[in-house]
Amino acid sequence: MQSFEKLLERNKQWSAHKKSQDPQFFQDLSKGQKPEFLWIGCSDSRVPGEIIVNAEPGEIFIHRNIANQVIPTDFNCLSVLQYAVNVLQVKHIIVCGHYNCGGVVAALNKQRSDLVITNKWLMHIKNTYRLHQEEIDAYDDEALRVNRLVELNIIEQVNALAHTSIIQESWYQHKMPTLHGWVYGLEDGLIDPLITLSASHEINPIFQYERIKG
């Protein structure tokens, strides 16, 4: 049996197991979704959002990319954000990165000539490093430098969410969602919270959207 065939077989086993536990499971699930959470995570195969928080299908709306970034010109991420906030009306948005992130490791090194597109994506992390270079370079250990930048990158992405018109409008109209920045440990499987921003958060004026008065 080839590797992809194993996935299909596992799918059959999973489906059968769910039906044995609850014969109506898939019928109920097919009626619609109302997740409470939007998860913006890293594409790393070791950090599947639903699994590490032991969630069921339908609980979490998920977007993943390299190094869990929220970039204002990434219409893929922004469309997911808009749908989650305006249509699904999620109550919480979680940006979850992880220690020893390959994207962060790459951002701390020279750009690779064979990864031209990826280099552009990682440029945002390089800029975060540049802003905190003195603090990060103070660590003698390479792993500590990487992991501190992992944390700073997560915090930066949560603030980037707060700087979007989507979040600011929802905060003004509905006082939600709450934004969370979490970091996952590959070595112990545990999540630690780093930052939480709510609708009462005071956004720097240069990132605020003016409200048009009719």
Residues catalogued as catalytic: 42, 44, 46, 98, 101
Distance of CA 187 to the CA centre of its chain: 20
Cβ atoms of 67 and 151 within 8 Å: the answer is no
Q: How far apart are CA 18 and CA 25, in angstroms?
A: 7
Alpha helices in 3-141 (DSSP H): 3-21, 25-29, 49-52, 75-82, 102-107, 116-131, 133-137
Taking CB atoms within 8 Å and a gap of at least 24, the contacts of 207-213 are 207/162, 207/163, 208/168, 209/165, 209/168, 209/169, 211/172
